């Protein structure tokens, strides 16, 4: 017997995922500069929005801002400002206005109806990028859930452009159909809520499967790469593991969590995971949709916080990532800051950064510079590795075998008293050998 919550996996398989229209569109970018925000900060935020638009296949023709303390409740921007922008868009041939914040349904509808401007917001651009980059079933489920949650309160406005420009309401992950009248809106909302429940149930199944896999490898330490999008996480992951994960100089090239096993010098097994990049103003429902992927972060023993040190706003990005980590409950997990792309820095800048972050690892993942030093730092931070000389009696043969599994044995010598071992061992396993230590080189 089946019910409406039963999962039909074929519904979420690759062949069911419709690609969005790849034709490049043109747009103006727009933002509000609040009283506490500097012009430089606003410009940097618009530059990031431009990179998002470029990744989404949208050509930016211009960027504009309005200085005001609070968004206009009905239209986000002031009416006179929007009238002026509408004229400029018409003159330049810009098809879209992309707003650098999330619009309410009413604001989006009013801008379109009263000023003749086709408008999308930052969240919709991010959703489009995620849609295009989602390759696995899990990623597509997560993106579909985020799209449905965004779509639900905006059905009336989305009928006029969202489905037409992005495939259809169905391609965004729902069974909703276009129609006219309040009755059709309610039907579509009910269908989308049903889809949300089905996708959520499918993601719960994925989360349970991941939980089972984690329990199977519970003895292994867990290292997770986190960082702002495009900081170089996947490049470092490849440098450490040779995994061949996709690397692109574009935002959100990685959506799926990828894990590999890495053996440290102590011999201790270590599972290392690459994750989706963070970004400022990341929509909360998008973070919630990716909870199955973010579980890798919550389960980590140590976070490697990868930072693009060549970006002059790197300290701001560190703050943004730490904010997201705190939001998902990972703020207390130990982390090691890894300042990447050192090949783009001058010697003076490296010295300045080292003074600012004395415990950070400075590397170039692309050129594999500083990787050995990074691994040493990981061992120190994660394992409290100790170099010891042990003398074990003959009746401890089982312990000798275990030490070969959990530590790095550098030398083994048999004598009249038993077995003498020179090894490196994790601090967490030190209790196993404490009675037999004859030398501690630390």
Domains present along the chain, CATH in parentheses: 18-127 (3.40.50.11060), 134-213 (no CATH), 217-382 (3.40.50.300), 386-440 (3.30.70.240)
Tell me whether strands 418-425 and 258-263 are parallel, antiparallel or unpaired: unpaired
Residue 411 Cα distances to 71, 335, 423, 442, angstroms: 69, 33, 7, 16
Tell me whether strands 335-340 and 408-415 are parallel, antiparallel or unpaired: unpaired
pLDDT at 415 over 50: yes
More confidently predicted of 31 and 157: 31
Instruction: Report pLDDT digits (tens) over 265-280.
Output: 666 678 888 877 788 7
Instruction: Report pLDDT digits (tens) over 211-220.
Output: 776 666 556 7
The span from the CA of 343 to the CA of 348, in Å, is: 13
Instruction: Report pLDDT digits (tens) over 320-371.
Output: 899 888 887 888 888 999 999 999 999 999 999 999 999 999 999 999 999 9
Instruction: Report pLDDT digits (tens) over 158-170.
Output: 544 444 444 444 4
Q: Which of 191, 194, 154, 148 is nearest to 171 (CA)?
A: 148
Most confident of 119-133, 217-231, 259-273: 119-133
Predicted local distance difference test score (pLDDT) of residue 289? 65
Rounded (10°) CA dihedral 80, 85, 91, 93: -150
Q: Which of 156, 142, 161, 152 is nearest to 190 (CA)?
A: 152
Residue 9 CB coordination number (10 Å): 11
DSSP-assigned beta bridge partners for residue 66: 32
The span from the CA of 389 to the CA of 437, in Å, is: 6
> Contact at 8 Å (CB) between 96 and 25?
yes
* SS3 annotation, the chain: CCCCCCCCHHHHCHHHCCCCCCCCEEEEEEEEECCCCCHHHHHHHHHHHHHHHHHCCEEEEEEEEEECCCCECCCECCHHHHHHHHHHHHHHCCCEEEECCCCCHHHHHHHHHHHCCCEEEHHHHHHHHHHHHCCCHHHHHHHHHHHHHHHHHHHHHHHHHHHHHCCCCCCCCCCCCCCCCHHHHHHHHHHHHHHHHHHHHHHHHHHHHHHHHHHHCCCCEEEEEEEECCCCHHHHHHHHHCCCCCCCCCCCCCCCCEEEEEECCCCCEEEEEECCCECCCCCHHHHHHCHHHHHHHHCCCEEEEEEECCCCCHHHHHHHHHHHHHHCCCCCCCEEEEEECHHHCCHHHHHHHHHHCCCCEECECCCCECHHHHHHHHHHHHCCCEEEEEEECHHHHHHHHHHHHHCEEEEEEEECCEEEEEEEECHHHHHHCHHHEEEECC
Predicted local distance difference test score (pLDDT) of residue 393? 95
φ/ψ of 134, rounded to 5, equals -75, 120
The span from the CA of 375 to the CA of 272, in Å, is: 12
DSSP-assigned beta bridge partners for residue 55: none
Q: What is the pTM of this model?
A: 0.70
Query: How much is the average pLDDT of 222-233?
Result: 89
């Amino acid at each position: 017997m089946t019910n409406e919550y039963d999962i039909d996996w074929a519904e979420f398989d690759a062949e069911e995922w419709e690609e969005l229209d790849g034709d490049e569109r043109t747009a103006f970018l727009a933002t509000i500069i609040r009283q506490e925000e500097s012009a430089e900060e606003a410009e940097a935020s618009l530059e990031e929005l431009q990179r998002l638009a470029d990744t989404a296949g949208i050509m930016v023709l211009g960027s504009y801002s309005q200085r005001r303390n609070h968004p206009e409740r009905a239209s986000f921007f002031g009416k006179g400002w929007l009238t002026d922008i509408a004229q400029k868009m018409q003159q330049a041939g810009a098809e879209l206005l992309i707003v650098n914040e999330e619009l309410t349904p009413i604001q989006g509808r009013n801008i379109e109806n009263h000023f003749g401007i086709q408008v999308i917001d930052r969240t919709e651009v991010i959703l489009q990028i995620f849609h295009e980059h989602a390759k696995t079933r899990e990623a597509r489920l997560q993106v579909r859930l985020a799209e449905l949650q965004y779509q639900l309160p905006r059905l009336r406005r989305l009928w006029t452009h969202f489905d037409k420009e992005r495939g259809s309401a169905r391609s965004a992950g729902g069974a909703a159909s276009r129609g006219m009248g309040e009755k059709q809106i309610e039907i579509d909302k009910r269908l989308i809520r049903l889809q949300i429940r089905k996708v959520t149930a499918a993601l719960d199944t994925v989360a349970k499967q991941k939980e089972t896999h984690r329990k199977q490898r519970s003895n292994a330490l867990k290292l997770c790469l986190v960082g702002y999008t495009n900081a170089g996480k996947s490049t470092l992951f490849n440098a450490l593991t040779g995994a061949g994960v996709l690397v692109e100089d574009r935002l959100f090239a990685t959506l799926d969590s990828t894990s590999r096993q890495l053996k440290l010098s102590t011999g201790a097994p270590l599972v290392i995971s690459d994750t989706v990049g963070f970004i400022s103003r990341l929509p909360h429902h998008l973070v919630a949709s990716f909870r199955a992927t973010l579980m890798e972060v919550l389960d980590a023993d140590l976070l490697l916080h990868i930072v693009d040190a060549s970006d002059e706003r790197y300290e701001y990005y560190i703050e943004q990532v730490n904010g997201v980590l705190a939001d998902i409950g990972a703020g207390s997990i130990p982390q090691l800051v890894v300042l990447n792309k050192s090949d783009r820095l001058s010697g003076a800048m490296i010295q300045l950064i080292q003074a600012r972050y004395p415990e950070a690892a400075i590397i170039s993942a692309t050129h594999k510079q500083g990787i050995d030093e990074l691994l040493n730092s990981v061992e120190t931070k994660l394992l409290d590795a100790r170099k010891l000389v042990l003398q074990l009696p003959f009746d401890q043969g089982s312990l000798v075998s275990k030490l070969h599994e959990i530590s790095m044995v550098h030398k083994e010598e048999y004598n009249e008293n038993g077995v003498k071992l020179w090894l490196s061992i994790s601090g967490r396993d030190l209790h196993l050998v404490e009675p037999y230590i004859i030398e501690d080189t630390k």
